[in-house]
Amino acid sequence: MSNDYEVMISSEEIMQGIRELGKTLSDYYLGKQIVLIPLLKGGFMFAADLIRSMDVQMQIEFLGAASYGEQTKSSGEVRLTLDTTLPLSGRDVLLVEDIVDTGLTLAYIQRLIKSRDPASLHTVVLLDKKIRRKVEVEVDRVVFNIPDRFVFGYGLDSPGGFGRNLSDIVAKKE
């Protein structure tokens, strides 16, 4: 990584936050079977570590959505790029998202899942950039609140799709 970037959240801080969230969710879902749905692509690393930190019976599905393209700001248009295969009706669903800023993508996905009549839908996000919110969304748990800066690493990509493999979450120096 070049000197043009600074670490916003270290890999150690990320793992500590995820372990705490995993314990909270394990207690919350005690005795239940859930369907855990990471939102791709950015949520895959967060979801993998969260899944390993939870002691719950679960099935894992995937949903893919895109609203950024190769930009650093949301286009406002959400495209579904991958859909689930399991029926969600009557099931407890946990949606796992990497970052919520405008809320447009998350609101779209939440409406989609709710239309499938789950018994419950809870949403957890790694990063919340509340200052950029354009629509109200229901977020049940947030690991980190962050300022209005473009971040990447730990599954989140920089423009062009690079940087997901970094273990820290970084931002361009101001």
Residues linked to residue 65 through DSSP beta bridges, in sequence order:
80
pLDDT tens per residue across span 70-103: 555 555 678 888 989 999 999 999 999 999 999 9
Q: What is the 3-state secondary structure (H, E, C) of 48-109?
A: HHHHHCCCCEEEECCEEEECCCCCCCCCCCCEEEECCCCCCCCCEEEEEEEEECCCHHHHHH
Q: pLDDT exceeding 90 applies to what percent of the chain?
A: 82
- Tokens 């692509």 belong to residue: 41
d(CA 168, CA 6): 10
What pLDDT, on a 0 to 100 scale, did the predictor assign at position 89? Answer: 97
Place of tokens 């000197």: 3
Confidence check: pLDDT of 66 > 90 = no
Tokens describing residue 120? 């419950």
Confidence of residue 4 (pLDDT cuts 50, 70, 90): confident
Q: Is 101 one of the annotated active-site residues of the chain?
A: yes
Q: Which CATH architecture has domain 5-172?
A: 3-Layer(aba) Sandwich (3.40)
| The amino acid at 116 | R
Q: pLDDT value at position 8?
A: 97
How large a percentage of the chain has pLDDT more than 70? 94
Q: What is the mean pLDDT of the chain?
A: 92
The arithmetic mean of pLDDT across residues 63-70, rounded, is 74
Which of the residues 49, 92, 98, 101 is marked catalytic?
101
Q: CB 64: neighbour CB atoms within 10 A?
A: 15
Q: How many CA atoms lie within 13 A of 122 on its CB side?
A: 15
